[in-house]
Amino acid sequence: MRFILNSPLDMHLHLRDGGMLKNVAKFSAKEFAGALIMPNLLPPITDTQSLLSYKKRILKAVTGEKFTPCMCLFFKESYTADFLEKAKPHITAIKLYPSGVTTNSSGGVEQIDVKKLSPIFEAMSALDIPLCVHGETNGFVMDREKEFGAIYEQLAVSFPKLTIIMEHITTKASAELLKRHENLYATITLHHLLITLDDVAGGLLNPHLFCKPIAKRYEDREALLELALNGDKKAMFGSDSAPHPVSKKECCGCAAGIFSAPIALSALAELFEKHNKLTNLQAFVSNNARDIYKLIPIEKNVTLEKEEWTVPAKFGDVVPMFAGQPLKWQVKCVS
C-alpha cells in the first residue's frame, strides 16, 4: 500500500542551534517541504539580523535538501510598527511566549495585557503578520491552557483581522474555542494525538514523553483527533519536535520536549490509516497550512509505503519518540 503527500509542512518546529541543529535539522528537511522555525533560542531571535543569521545556519545544516525554513520572531513588547514593516519580508509569523511557561521563554511577556499591547497587534493586523501563541498561564499544570482561553477570546474579538494561531493545543476546550472565532487557528502535534498523561506518568515515568503543554485526558485527545482526522480547515500539523540530549531528559529536572521529527510522517500515516482517514492527511499536513499562512511551498512529493520498520534507539545523543518500537509505515521516496 502506497500513499503520496504533496509538499508536507511542519508548522511548529524546534531546530535548536550549534551541534544540535546539525544533528536534527536533516530529519525534517528530508521529509518536509518547509517548516515554521521556533525562535526561542538563547538568546531568542528578536531582530532581523539575528533571524537572517539563524536562517543561514539552518540552510547550511540542510544543504542538498529541498526545504524552506519559514522564520519567525520572538515577540517583544518593544516592537514598533516601523520595525514590523521592515521585518515583514523576512518572517512568516511572530511567536508570543508568556514568560517562563516553557523552554527558553524567560524573555517572554510577563503579563499579557491585550490593551497595552494593542499597538503591536494592530500593526500586525495591518501588515497581515500572523501571531503564534504558546497559550498557557502559570497556573496548575493541567489547567494552564484552559485558563489562557480568555486571552485568546479577547485577542480574537479585539483584532478580528489578526490571524491568531493557538500553538500545540491539547484540550477539548481549545478545540471548541477554535470553532467560535473566525480568526483563530491551531497547530496540533503528533504526540498529543497519540498520548495522554497516563503514557507520561501513569506507570513508570517516561521522560521522553514529557512535554509542555503536558499531555492531557482521553476526552481531550479525542477532541484533537476529531479535528485532525477530518482535515478540519482550522487545524494543521505542527510537530513541536523539540530535541534534548539524553543527559537533559534522563535526569532530575527533566527538560520538556519530544523529538518526533524522524518519525512524524510515518506515525501520522499509521494513525490516519487506522481510522480510515488517510485521504485527509494531505489537508492536515499541508493544504490547511498553505491556506492559513498564504504559503506556496516548494514542490516536493513524499511517498510513504506500508512497510514495517523499527525506530532507532537514538539519533546522535537524542532519543526519538517510539525509540525501539515498530511503525507500520515508512517514507520510501522523496522527489
Q: Cβ distance 237 to 186 under 8 Å?
A: no
Interaxial angle between packed helices 118-127 and 144-158, expressed in degrees from 0 to 180 and rounded to the nearest 10: 60
Alpha helices in the chain (DSSP H): 18-31, 48-61, 81-87, 118-127, 144-158, 172-178, 190-194, 197-201, 218-229, 246-249, 264-274, 281-282, 288-293
* Cis previous bond, 119, omega within 30: no
Q: Tell me the C-alpha distance between 120 and 114, whole Å.
A: 10
For the chain, the C-alpha Rg in angstroms (whole number) is: 19
| 240 labelled catalytic | yes
Q: Is 288 exposed, middle or buried (0-12, 13-18, 19+ CB in 10 A)?
A: buried
Among left, alpha and beta (phi > 0; psi -120 to 50; other), residue 7 is: left
Query: In this structure, how many other beta carbons lie within 10 angstroms of the beta carbon of residue 294?
Result: 11
Among left, alpha and beta (phi > 0; psi -120 to 50; other), residue 38 is: beta
Catalytic residue (choose from 128, 240, 291, 317): 240
- What distances in angstroms separate CA 335 from CA 30, 267, 284, 286, one per listed residue? 10, 20, 20, 16
Active-site amino acid positions: 240
